[in-house]
Amino acid sequence: MYCKKCGAMLEEGSSFCKECGTAQVDGEQEVKMSKRVLSAVGTVASMVVSAVGTIVLQAAVEESIPKISKKIKQYKKSSKKRKK
């Protein structure tokens, strides 16, 4: 077996190259690591989307509160006029 980076000859089952220190992984280990990385990326992406959604929703609510308050005041004024 040879190092994938520097080409040095490795002992069978070596985890690291003695010459350059590069981690040596077989195809199955690479697939497992790739799945872990994809899972982590997916989790982070979900968290980012949730955070952005929360911020946008909060901004929309904060923007609409003054408008709603104004409409409530208008409604109260108009209902007082109707009662008189």
pLDDT, tens digit, 9 for 90 and up, residues 3-16: 888 999 988 878 88
Q: How far is CA 51 from the centre of its chain?
A: 9
Alpha-carbon gap, residue 79 to 19, rounded angstroms: 86
- pLDDT-above-70 percentage for the chain: 90
What are the residue boundaries of the structural domains of the chain, listed by start? 1-84
Alpha-carbon gap, residue 50 to 64, rounded angstroms: 21
∠60-62-64 over CA atoms, to 5°?
Answer: 70
Q: Is the pTM of this model over 0.75?
A: no
Residue 18: is its pLDDT beyond 80? Answer: yes
Mean pLDDT of all residues belonging to the chain: 86
